[in-house]
Chains A and B, each alone.
Chain A
């Protein structure tokens, strides 16, 4: 490919680019971020107290991995996120499908859901502590409160957009009305539902850290807060990096599961 046509390819809207080029630039962004990090710390432009050197973060990670505290805190966080996410999803998926399919369910839930959806989750943290205490249940509750209503609304929206004639065709083939939700609406929206779950999983991590910053004795948010008090910026950076990596992994898992469950939707 000549330089001229490559330039034209990458500047054409929506045009696909060669796979090797895509991988190269995906790596490049990280090279730039890490190089910038090195430049800022080694030039002395930013004091080490605010931004640790990259290798300092790695060394801290190695130390905490060796003494086991890293795994303990990571596991604590993953546990809370998974419980909150799974409990929320198990209720939100079927209820969202019903809400999008049956106008009566929508009319019943919409006013309440749309009210709660706009309340900032953080404002409920003190209330949850008062009600539930500072155990794992409190953090799980924050996550559920943070993602459940969003999941509900997005899943209901995608159920509502199922083409009417798809349902009509199912009727003419002998599908009964009561079967429509799980025979037609669920499979028709499955790729969308998987995307909603993937996106809200990311939000679950955000609410986890919120909950852990306020009241927790373990977890990645908890060690960040503790590290702040001791000016251990390297620990904070490590915790942030770990959450990012865990997020990246769960994201990939969701993409994989979507491909397995919904092979027809690319």
Chain B
């Protein structure tokens, strides 16, 4: 593996989730959050999970990241079974998780520095990814001086600079206003086209799911299980304009119906 993977030759792996169960608590008061989830995310695929809040979609990401322990089942990323968190699985969180004591550049540099990359190489990596998310001018700012959208752009740059095999994204644009969210989606699509990382993205926004995904996985809640997987074959590169296309609207209706049935069940 070359140390500096800036343009091509990015690392990327598949994700295999097999009969994963997540139960909180014990005995009578136990809550079944995930009930035997199985699916596969292919290498270089952009896969989006949609589902109602509380359906366990975020928990699933935390399990893949190794930040929580599953009750049963197996999760494999590339050729490794997940047992603990590691830099091979980058994550962008819903809340702001930039290190407030580091500048924007130092935040992006954090992963490569942990890996022991020499300073000159780290600088190239930081410059590349800050340019990629359009924040070169803010390299020496602290996170507290940035807007919400800018913070999440740095968080994406920070995750990618570490060259993970998969990128896990937990409603990363959920807290942003719709204007900013659209530009973030555009930016993410562009960055993804350049890196072709395997992405598993969680959202409750159906438009966002279809716009971004190669495949949408629809989940239902309590206990969380997979209702349907829908392949999105709208050609790329995609723009916001596709929300008007009949195929988009048909897909949106299908997902809405799936989620609505879920409501009726309860």
A and B associate in one complex: yes
Q: Which residues of B contact A169 (CB under 8 A)?
A: 91, 93, 97, 99, 155
Q: Is the CB of B142 within 8 A of A172?
A: no
Distance between B36 CB and nearest chain A CB, rounded to angstroms: 25
Among the listed A163, A172, A187, which residue makes an inter-chain contact with B90, where contact means beta carbons less than 8 Å apart? A172
A173 adjacent to chain B (CB < 8 Å): yes
Q: Is the CB of A165 within 8 A of B97?
A: yes
| Interface flag for B110 (CB, 8 Å) | yes
Contact call A264/B111, Cβ cutoff below 8 A: no
Determine, out of B38-46, B81-89, B196-204, the stretch whose residues face the partner at the interface: B81-89
List CB contacts (< 8 Å) of B149-205 with chain A: 155, 158-159, 162, 164, 168
Q: With an 8 A cutoff between CB atoms, is A91 at the interface? A: no
Known: A169-B97, A264-B101. 10 other contacts (CB 8 A): A165-B95, A168-B91, A168-B93, A168-B97, A172-B90, A173-B159, A174-B87, A174-B111, A187-B99, A188-B99
Q: Which residue numbers of B lie inside 8 Å of A, CB to CB?
A: 62, 65-67, 85-87, 89-91, 93, 95, 97, 99-102, 110-111, 114-115, 142-144, 155, 158-159, 162, 164, 168
Interface centre among A170, A188, A262 (most CB of B within 10 A): A170
A231 within 8 A of B: no
Q: Nearest CB to that of B111 among chain A residues?
A: A173
Instruction: Establish whether residues B93 and A165, one from each chain, have CB atoms under 8 Å apart when the complex forms.
Output: yes
List the A side residues contacting B100 at CB < 8 Å.
Answer: 188, 264-265
Residue of A nearest to B65 (CB): A172
Q: Which residues of B contact A264 (CB under 8 A)?
A: 100-102, 142-144
26 A-B residue pairs with CB within 8 Å: A163-B95, A163-B97, A165-B93, A165-B95, A168-B85, A169-B91, A169-B97, A169-B99, A171-B65, A172-B86, A172-B87, A172-B89, A172-B91, A173-B90, A173-B114, A173-B158, A174-B87, A174-B111, A174-B114, A174-B115, A188-B101, A190-B101, A264-B102, A264-B143, A265-B144, A266-B144
Contact A173 B162 (CB under 8 A): yes
CB of A175 closer than 8 Å to a CB of B: yes
Residues of B within 8 A of A265 (CB): 100, 144
> A157-172: contact bitstring with B at CB < 8 Å (1 yes, 0 no)?
0000001011011111
Q: Given A187-B101, A188-B100, decide whether A173 and B110 contact each other with a Cβ distance below 8 A.
A: yes
Q: How far is the CA of A169 from the CA of B85 in the complex (A)?
A: 10
Chain A residue nearest in CB terms to B67: A168
Given A173-B87, A173-B114, A264-B142, A168 contacting B99 (CB threshold 8 A): no
| Residue among A166, A170, A173, A266 facing the most chain B CB atoms (10 A cut-off) | A173
Cβ 8 A contact of A175, one of B89, B91, B102, B114: B114
Closest to A190 in B: B101
Q: Given the complex of chains A and B, what is the CA–CA distance between A266 and B143 in angstroms? A: 12
A174 pairs with B101, CB closer than 8 A: no
The 3 closest A-B pairs by CB, nearest first: A174-B87, A171-B85, A169-B97
